[in-house]
Amino acid sequence: MCGIAAFKRGLGDLGWVEGKNILIEYRWAAGKVDRLPELAQELIHLHVDAIVVSGTPAIQAAKSATTSIPIIMTVAADPVDAGLVKSLAHPGENVTGLSFLDTELSAKRLELLKEAFPKISRVAVLRHVTSAIAAVGAVESVGRSLALQIQIHEVKSPEELDQAFNAMRQDRSEAVNVLPSPILFNNRKALIELATKYRLPAVYHLKEFVDDGGLMSYAASFPEMCQRAATYVDKILKGVKAADLPVEQPTKFELVISLKTPKEIGVTIPPNVLARADKVIR
């Protein structure tokens, strides 16, 4: 989920050049959560000076594997709620980095759905089992304030996506709010195809969903967060303890909207919503 190019650009700005004064060991789980503990152990056996990791499942795997090696979160959903840090201001252990306001933004995406489609009254919320629980509560709370019936659909694997969308149809869902999850991100094309098949307006947590045919997304700027993660590496390599580095939150957010997808599912995005978009994909 985190851009390697942006991260390396951030390192370069601080004088760290891969292959010259810093060595980077890459490990990818390719969406297979069960591989994360093994990959974390591999890095520990290499005696790395820091572990840079994206996504709550991967962060949890790294945290379970070591209490001494600094762990830098590039993309974390509600790290306090997930038990990754004690607080944002005082992480307390060997984990720090950046949080992308998962709870707040998940609720904001529901508001955007209602603004874009004022007549909807039933909204499905799609979450993977690794999605933050706090986000569900926030969405349900905002749903009540907007007089929306919120329908939670949880999947344990990508193979359950079709079943989830079929259940949305049976529940007469009129739109879907997709909660952040590395698994859903890695299977976004299948997810988007199902949303199109069932003609459900959907809002996502990353612009890559819109790049691949999704309707719209509202999210923190992940490249900016990945670039900021490099500052944590720089400080830790210079002797600062992870426990002494507060967790940062994003300050830049992007609304991305597709102009092609509404035609495919038979909806119209109001001009006032389009006018707010930071990027429109034609």
What's the burial of 88, exposed, middle or buried (CB within 10 Å: 0-12/13-18/19+)? middle
Q: Considering Cα of 99, then 103, then 105, then 106, what sign does the dihedral take? A: positive
User: Is 43:25 a contact under the CB 8 Å cutoff?
Assistant: yes
Q: What is the DSSP letter of 88?
A: S
- Rg (alpha carbons) of the chain, rounded to whole number: 19
Side by side, the strands of the sheet bearing 95-99 are 51-54, 71-76, 95-99
How does pLDDT run along the chain (282 residues), one tens digit per residue?
Answer: 558 999 999 999 999 999 999 999 999 988 788 999 999 999 999 999 999 998 888 999 999 999 999 999 998 878 888 889 999 999 999 999 999 888 899 999 999 999 999 999 999 999 999 888 889 999 999 999 999 999 999 999 999 999 999 999 999 999 999 998 888 998 999 999 999 999 999 999 989 999 999 999 999 888 888 999 999 999 999 999 999 999 999 888 999 999 999 999 999 999 999 999 999 998
Identity at 188, one-letter amino acid code: R
Task: Delineate the domains of the chain, giving CATH numbers in brackets.
Answer: 4-99+221-251 (3.40.50.2300), 102-219+254-281 (3.40.50.2300)
* Locus of tokens 């795997």: 61
Annotate 90-133 with three-state secondary structure. CCCCCEEEEECCHHHHHHHHHHHHHHHCCCCCEEEEEEECCCCH
How many angstroms separate the CA atoms of 23 and 48, rounded? 9
Return the C-alpha torsion angle 248, 138, 155, 192, nearest 10.
-80
> Considering only CA atoms, which of 132, 281, 155, 149 is closest in space to residue 205?
132
> Is this structure's pTM higher than 0.85?
no
pLDDT at 2: 59
Tokens of 236: 């830790």
